[in-house]
Every structure is written in C-alpha cells, then in structure tokens.
Homo-oligomer: A and B are copies of this chain.
C-alpha cells in the first residue's frame, strides 16, 4: 500500500498500557518492558496517554512520569503521539504544552467533554489548540467517552486547513469512517487511523493508513503482519490475520460483567495478557477499577495459547 498522499504517520501505533505495581504505583520497569515488547513487534509509533493508557485515571504527576519513561525507553526509535486529555480548550492547551516539552512528537486531542458543545465549538476548539501549540495534532473521535461525534465535515475542514494531521477514529461508525477516508484521501500527508481492533482489514481495504489497537499491546507483531499484508495488496492474508486477532480480542470478554466495568474489562485483559506473556509482573488497575482475578487470567491464558501467543 503505497499511499498516494504520503501520510506523515501510518502503520501500527498502539496505545501503550500503563502497568502498576501491586501497591498501585506506576511500574516504571514494566512500562519500559512494554515499550520494548511493542517496538520489537514492529510498531511504527507509540500512542502515549490514551484511553488504554488509563489517562483519565492518572494524576498529573503520573502522566508526566509515564511520558518521560516512554520517551526515554523509546530513545527516538518511533514517533511519540501523546494524549492531551482535558475537558476543554484552554485546559488542553496547557496539558499539550507540557506534553510537547516532555517529548511528544504529536498530540492526540478529543472533542470537549463534560461540556455541551456544538459543531462550531468543536471546530474552534481544535483551531485554538493548533494555533497555540503549532504541533502535529490528531483528532481523536471517541464518542463513547466524549459523547460527541466528530463530524466528517468538521474533520475535513480541519484537515484541509492543516489544523490536524490525522484522525484516530474510535467512533464505531464505519459509514462515516469510509466517508472520511474518501473526503481526505487527496490531502497531502494526512492520515486516518482506526481504533477498532477487529475490523482493521476492512479499514485498510477502504484506504485507512493505520490502526491504533489496544490489543496491539498484546500482539504487536500480529497487527504489523496484518498491516504489511494489506500494504502489499494481499487482503486474503490480511483477513486471515484479522480473524485470528479477532479471536485474541475475545480476551476482553472474559471478565465477569457483574463485577468488572466496561472500562476495566478491556484494559484489565490487556494487562493480564501481558503478565501471562511475561512482559509485566502485575495486572493492577487504577482506582477505582478492579483487577481481573485468577479465573479470568486462566481464561485469557487459554485464548493466548490457542492463538499462538504463548
């Protein structure tokens, strides 16, 4: 897949999980190990302080520690795309400025949340942030969390004016995703990433430039193979790899939904899998989320074994 528009960013850019030690502190050694695991798996970038990195749960001090640690571990090998996760414009600008100082190559910015915004405010939000920081910005479309859908029209306007360098789409709206791809495919340097782990083959077939897979923490090499197959035009192989990864993704359904929240289930499964793989030591979650238990870990280990990851 030689992308005709020369995207600045493409490939597999997983949102890095944030391991904690049993006492709840950031596990710095574990975090470095995750970075090595990802880079040796062939990822083309690291998305730091994303939802999968538990960013809404981290204190400011913890956020700084995470970025600093990953930046040092990465040592410039791949681009660092860092979340500037705050409710509204001026707060995002302050957070983003800090992240750039700590080493971010690009920022990931959502629509305002805890706010009751309209489309004009969403557009003004991104424009003000870019004007203030003059850095590469990805718009992160995640209505399940912000409860605002970034419209295709707004995204295209921002893309055409160079306000954003790409979109990370976790909207679950495959129709608007395709329309965004069609509307931006001639914009030099622009990229569109899907955040949905189990439909990457179709997204790439439709022209997407890459994927930001939470599950990529567990199987970075699988996503890289999927991307490479699609880039080579071998979609049959891409689909086969995607089917296997969809089976791996079943780890997120192993937690007991009566006990574990939707937010904790997926992230807890990723951490638990990384423990099973020997990458980190502990599947501790941020307060107030609960940790996955032994029977859930056993189920996850079984899936990993079955899908060739153990």
Q: What B residues does A242 contact at CB under 8 A? A: 178, 206
In the bound assembly, the distance between CA atoms of A289 and B87 in angstroms comes to: 13
Give the contacting residue for A246; candidates B58, B182, B263, B286; CB below 8 A.
Answer: B182
In the bound assembly, the distance between CA atoms of A174 and B56 in angstroms comes to: 26
Shortest A288–chain B CB gap in Å is 4
- CB within 8 Å of B: which A154-204 residues: 172-175, 177-179, 182, 196-199, 201-203
Residue of B nearest to A288 (CB): B124
Interface size class of A (residues with CB under 8 A): 35 or more
Judging by beta carbons under 8 Å apart, are B115 and A57 in contact?
Answer: yes
Residue in A114, A117, A233 with the greatest tally of chain B CB atoms within 10 Å: A114
Judging by beta carbons under 8 Å apart, are A205 and B196 in contact?
Answer: no
Residue in A120, A197, A286 with the greatest tally of chain B CB atoms within 10 Å: A120
Tell me, yes or no, whether A222 is within 8 Å of chain B by CB.
no
Judging by beta carbons under 8 Å apart, are A287 and B90 in contact?
Answer: yes
Tell me, yes or no, whether A28 is within 8 Å of chain B by CB.
no
Judging by beta carbons under 8 Å apart, are A261 and B205 in contact?
Answer: no
Residue of B nearest to A235 (CB): B235
In the bound assembly, the distance between CA atoms of A94 and B242 in angstroms comes to: 42
**Nearest 5 CB-CB pairs, A to B?**
A202-B202, A116-B263, A124-B288, A118-B261, A56-B87
Given contacts A60-B94, A120-B288, A179-B198, 9 further A-B contacts (CB under 8 A): A56-B88, A56-B91, A56-B115, A114-B146, A121-B263, A122-B288, A128-B287, A177-B199, A207-B239
26 A-B pairs, CB-CB below 8 angstroms? Answer: A56-B88, A56-B113, A56-B115, A59-B91, A60-B91, A85-B114, A112-B288, A113-B113, A115-B145, A116-B144, A116-B261, A117-B261, A118-B260, A120-B288, A121-B290, A125-B288, A175-B196, A177-B199, A178-B198, A178-B246, A179-B246, A199-B202, A199-B206, A201-B202, A205-B239, A233-B236
